[in-house]
A and B are shown apart, each in its own frame.
Chain A
Amino acid sequence: MDDGKIDLTINTDSVNKILVGFIHSEITRAGFSRTVVNLSGGLDSTVACYLAAQAMGAENVLALMLPYKTSSPDALEHAEMVIETLGVRSLTIPITGMVDGLIGQFPDMDRVRQGNVMARVRMIVLYDQTASFKGLAVGTGNKTEVLLGYTTQYGDAACAINPLGDLYKTQVRQLARALGVPGVIIDKPPTADLWLGQTDEGELGFTYAEVDRLLYLLVDQRYSPEECVQAGFAESFVREVMERVRRNHFKRLMPPIAKLSNRTVGYDFLYLRDWGT
């Protein structure tokens, strides 16, 4: 492996400053002063919560714990640890009744469908709480999962703003260490916790450490797949990752509008969200 060219190290002070500024700017310009985060007790949502608390003040952050009956008790404990450390507000809203209300009607529903239902029910609760708390949803998706499409569209991917979407998982881990996130949260295996024993790396079939290095070459350094193979990555791995990135691109875009008129949203009606603010 040609290690010299792959350096995912980030200056955590600089990144923290930009991300805290981003959250504060984009929340306040939208006319809000509060945020809501779905806090699973995992690494990404914990870091998002730390950033939101810095940006808006802990009293303006509502952390939601939304366990399903199979959710890991450790995860809840870790989420509570974060809430206590930061002093953010919190609510625990079990989703078992809502989820089982749907999946109970389809006895043969496979676990991927079930997982998507859980992710989307959490989205419904999140958005309902943003209305009640008068805040905006801060997302928790990192660059690795955004690129791989390892996320549920309109589920865990749903948010008003996404501070972590340009940091690979291994970079989120660096930021977490710098922010003082408890080691037990940083070191545990990443999981969507949608079924017992699920881990991201088990489901994906590769580790974040490996795939982050490959994505860094492919995306950030604009290496061709052949150059990645020459740099030491297995050809089958490179092909599999490229295909995942391509196949899941739809999750990264708004649904296309069929163009008919001279001026169409998404093509030639172009304004930033920050328009006028």
Chain B
Amino acid sequence: MKVVIALAQINTRLGDITSNLEKHLQLTAEARAAGVDLIIFPELSLTGYYLQDLVPGMAHRASEDDPVFKPLMEASREIDMVVGFVDEDIRHRFFIASAYLGQGRVRHVHHKTYLPTYGLFDEGRFFAWGDEVRAFDTRFGRVGILICEDFWHASPPYLLWLDGADIFLLTSASPGRGINHEPALESARWVEDINRAYASLFTSFVIHCNRVGFEDGLNFWGGSTIYDPNGVLLCQGPYHEEALTFGEIDLNQLHRTRARLPLLRDERTSFVLREMHRIVGQAQDRADEARDV
């Protein structure tokens, strides 16, 4: 089975959902006309990234009675979509979230589990931490969503893999940083390295959509990619420019790669879990001992 993917590496207007929504609907229509099966928008694609005190006013629920999600869900009858937004739960906690919409329904909402609060980042100040990493079923098979810092840590992609995801949908609003003699920024090189590594280590498709544009002095570098289960780059969007980049993935590649390289079959999850218990337990013991002293 072949699936045509569109990576919508857009620029956004900071805190202007109406205008960002319009861009989503326009590009989704364009992608649908081009025969795309799944279109992916970046992290916080409906709101912009560096929201700070704008966060509470940006929140929406991924449901049919929400004025922002209603037209998106309508559009998703004919094309599957991943969109980035601010989610507010019933206890009024705000999350950086990505929703998977398909066949007119909300299939899954992922809350960002790692909030960078260091260097230029301040997410932990404004957002609540998600605490679930779940794969979910789509018409293309089982997939998982992670948002930016989620996959700077190795554990969320590993969990998704064990939970059955064969396609990783990664979204970012990654500020470009680190200049040297290379054409790619250091942050771009790093993300490309780890995404290629995840594709290879998990013998899975790794699809990454990163936004472009500026927010004050921050630049977002784009360069969205698709790697196949062999770690081969299938397509890449341009750096620093808005683009709708198309790529086709052949799901039979999972069969071929895993026939050659049965890393998933041989993964020893019980052994990992046992060792995790031991390591976490020892850390706990040490903490208890320190307290006793």
Contact = CB atoms under 8 A, between A and B. Distances in A.
Interface of A: 7, 9-11, 13-15, 17-18, 21-22, 25-26, 166, 268-277
Interface in B96-143: none
Contacts of A18: 176, 219, 240
Given A25-B214, A275-B14, A276-B13, A9 B50 contact: no
B164 interface: no
B16 interface: yes
A165 B201 CA distance: 40
What DSSP secondary structure best describes chain B's contact surface? Answer: loop
Nearest to A269: B53
Interface in B37-95: 50, 52-54
A277 B182 CA distance: 32
A273 B183 CA distance: 29
B270 interface: no
Interface in B1-26: 13-16
A22 B217 contact: yes
8 contacts: A10-B179, A11-B179, A14-B179, A17-B240, A269-B53, A271-B52, A272-B14, A277-B13
B180 interface: yes
Contact of A25 (B16, B53, B181, B213): B213
A277 B214 CA distance: 11
B215 A9 contact: no
B185 interface: yes
B216 interface: yes
B240 A15 contact: no
B86 to A, nearest CB: 15
A22 B219 contact: yes
Contact of A274 (B183, B185, B215, B219): B215
A270 B53 contact: yes
Contacts of B180: 7, 9-11
B57 to A, nearest CB: 11
Contacts of B16: 276-277
Interface in B177-202: 179-185
A139 to B, nearest CB: 12
Interface string B201-242: 000000000000111110100000000000000000001100
Contact of A272 (B52, B176, B239, B240): B52
A21 B53 contact: no
Contacts of A22: 214, 217, 219
Given A7-B180, A11-B179, A22-B214, A275 B219 contact: no
B33 to A, nearest CB: 29
Interface string B150-193: 00000000000000000000000000100111111100000000
Contacts of B185: 14
B54 A14 contact: no
Contacts of B239: 14, 17
Contacts of A277: 13-14, 16
A273 B13 contact: no
Contact of B183 (A14, A25, A268, A269): A14
Contact of B214 (A15, A21, A268, A275): A21
A18 B217 CA distance: 10
A25 B219 CA distance: 10
Contacts of A15: 179
Given A18-B176, A270-B52, 20 more contacts: A7-B180, A10-B181, A11-B181, A11-B182, A11-B183, A14-B239, A17-B240, A21-B240, A22-B217, A269-B53, A270-B53, A272-B14, A272-B215, A272-B216, A274-B14, A274-B216, A275-B14, A276-B14, A276-B15, A277-B16
B216 A273 contact: yes
A81 to B, nearest CB: 28
Nearest to A165: B217
A25 B242 CA distance: 13
A17 B215 CA distance: 16
Contacts of A274: 14, 214-216
A166 B13 CA distance: 24
A67 to B, nearest CB: 31
Nearest to B49: A272
Contacts of B181: 7, 9-11
Contact of B15 (A7, A13, A25, A275): A275
Identify which of A11, A25, A275, A277 gathers the most chain B CB atoms within 10 Å of its CB.
Answer: A275
Nearest to B126: A270
Contacts of A275: 14-15, 54
Nearest to B48: A274
9 closest pairs, A vs B, by CB? A270-B52, A25-B214, A9-B181, A272-B216, A274-B14, A270-B53, A10-B179, A18-B219, A276-B15
A183 to B, nearest CB: 22
Contacts of A272: 14, 50, 52, 215-216
A7 to B, nearest CB: 7
Contacts of A276: 13-16
Contacts of B53: 268-271
A249 B83 CA distance: 41
A140 B202 CA distance: 48
Nearest to A8: B180
A274 B13 CA distance: 8
